[in-house]
Amino acid sequence: MDLTLDPLSPVPLSHQIRDRVVEAIGRGELRRGDALASVRSLAGAFGINPATVSRAYDQLRSEGLVATNAKSGTFVVGDAALDTATPAFCSDWESRLATLLEEGRAHGLTAEQVVIACQRALAGNEHDTDLGTEGNGPRTGDRHGRETR
């Protein structure tokens, strides 16, 4: 798995590591039994403190997506193709999703733009930031996708 981190991002590096692993599991790039890089090797590859990687792996462990043992290191236990979400996870996830959707609306995204962004994310095009609707002619917008007049 190739891991891309942005040291200039306001998102902490440990969160970025956690997010990239979750995304890889969700896309099926990482499957049950696949080993993750050791804490030291990943920290060395990015020139970051091993405690940063440990925080990310600890979070993934607490979410039930990875496990660690002295012999095998850290490996994936969650599998998008094989696992079924628990009701507790679904409830928590829906709560976080509602907050994220309202954040978009609070920044001026329309309900239609939110739906388009969700469809693109599910299709694997989450980095396409043009949230305009097709068939409505050209539009301009600010960096948040809001129409400008």
- Count of domains forming the chain: 2
Residue 127: predicted pLDDT: 52
Amino acid at 33: G
pLDDT in single tens digits along all 149 residues of the chain:
788 999 999 999 999 999 999 999 988 899 999 999 999 999 999 999 999 999 999 999 999 999 999 888 999 997 777 778 888 888 988 999 999 989 998 999 998 999 999 899 888 755 555 555 443 333 344 444 444 33
Residue 136: predicted pLDDT: 37
**Domain interval for residue 139:** 85-149
Q: Are 93 and 149 part of one and the same domain?
A: yes
**What DSSP letter does each residue of the chain carry, written as one string?**
------TTSSS-HHHHHHHHHHHHHHHTSS-TTPBPPPHHHHHHHHT--HHHHHHHHHHHHHTTSEEEETTTEEEE---TTT----HHHHHHHHHHHHHHHHHHHHTT--HHHHHHHHHHHHHT-TT----PPTTS----B-TTS-B--
Residue 145: predicted pLDDT: 42
Last residue of a domain, one of 58, 76, 94: 76
In terms of pTM, does the model score above 0.85?
Answer: no
Q: Find residue 74's DSSP bridge partners.
A: 68
Last residue of a domain, one of 76, 96, 126: 76
Name the phi and psi angles at 16, rounded to 5: -65, -45
